Amino acid sequence: MEEQSTLLMACMKSALAAGRAILEVYDAPDMQVEKKSDDSPLTLADRRAHDIIMKGIGNLGIPVLSEEGRNIPFEERSQWPRMWVVDPLDGTKEFIKRNGEFTVNIALVEKGVPTLGVVFVPVADCLYFADLEQGAFTIDCCRAAGIDEDRIVAIDGLGSLIEKAARLPVAREKGRPFTIMGSRSHATPELEAYVEEMRRTHGEVNFISAGSSLKICRVAEGAADIYPRLGPTMEWDTAAGQAVAVASGAQVVRHDDGTPLAYNKKDLLNPWFIVERKNA
């Protein structure tokens, strides 16, 4: 437990520092956008955030898997009993659009299962953090609460931080209709068909679009009932959000067979999956 708390605090400090660096680029006139080999965008913020996170958690004796390390041979990483799974800037398209819906994601995965995770939303200054044993929490307006990358280490352990946080899920809004989260930048015909099916089942349905891991976190909060991802994602897109969701009492399961989404697979591409509150 003590080691998990130490690792979680290191994650939070790294995510906060990376988020502040991302905002410096976000607020600059030139984001310095490049194209990766798959034609997806890469910004100066991605690179700065990655470097900061590596400095924060890269010396803890646990290997790191991120998009930058996607070519690590499976024969090598299959021997890792645990690893960090990192997305320094999840939602690069949302970042470029300057709509604020991007996150910093850091998770610890042990034997294929995300056991702790941190999702930081820089523009909203909102931090989600979770440990499967202690639960999932969120802190809004971190700096106003005295939480930033410089001062978080001065807090008297994880217990004091939890005292400043709200435990997830929060109380459901009375009268809220069945609510579905969906991707802002990756809508698919399959998703549209799924939403129509839910309308037939539940009657009135709210559909809310959002970017990055915010969709998973909204289900973890209880602000939404379900997030069907009927399109491609990679392991670093989902690991931190999955830790938060599962620790909150939600589930993250494969769309095809209902088994939990697993990590450190030979193919790092996720299958289609569903995030839902178990009473949805």
Residue 231 tokens read as 């399109």
Whether the predicted pLDDT of 280 surpasses 60: no
- Annotate 211-245 with DSSP letters as a single string: -TTHHHHHHHHTS-SEEEE-S--BHHHHHHHHHHH
Residues 47 and 157 in one domain: yes
Return the half-sphere exposure (C-beta side, CA atoms, 13 A cut-off) of residue 83: 22
Are both 63 and 152 inside the same structural domain?
A: yes
106 and 217 share one domain = no
Residue-wise pLDDT for 180-225, tens only, equals 999 876 677 888 888 899 999 998 999 999 989 999 999 999 999 9
Closest CA to 119 of 272, 202, 234, 237: 237
Which residue range(s) make up the domain with 78? 2-167
Average pLDDT over residues 159-167: 89
Q: Quick one: 17 and 147 in the same domain?
A: yes
Name the DSSP letter for residue 269: B
Same domain for 83 and 194, yes or no, is no
Any domain includes 63? yes
Contacts of the segment 113-116: beta carbons below 8 A, 24+ positions apart: 113/260, 113/262, 113/263, 114/85, 114/239, 114/240, 114/242, 114/243, 114/246, 114/263, 115/4, 115/243, 116/4, 116/7, 116/8, 116/11, 116/243
Would you say residue 37 has pLDDT above 70? no
- Contacts of 202 by beta carbon, 8 Å cutoff, 6+ apart: 177, 178
pLDDT tens-digit readout, 120-135: 999 999 999 999 999 9
Does residue 72 form part of some domain? yes
Q: Are 233 and 260 in contact (CB under 8 A)?
A: no
- Note the pLDDT tens digit of each residue in 61-111: 999 999 888 889 999 999 999 999 999 999 988 999 999 999 999 999 999
Number of domains in the chain: 2
What is the per-residue pLDDT across 40-68, written as a single tens digit (0 to 9) for each?
777 899 999 999 999 999 999 999 999 88
> Final residue of a domain: which of 167, 189, 204?
167
CATH number for 153:
3.30.540.10
Q: Is residue 172 part of a domain?
A: no
User: pLDDT tens-digit profile of 245-274?
Assistant: 999 999 999 999 999 999 999 999 999 999
- The enclosing domain of 211 has a CATH number of 3.40.190.80
Residues 42 and 152 in one domain: yes
Does residue 103 lie in a domain region?
yes
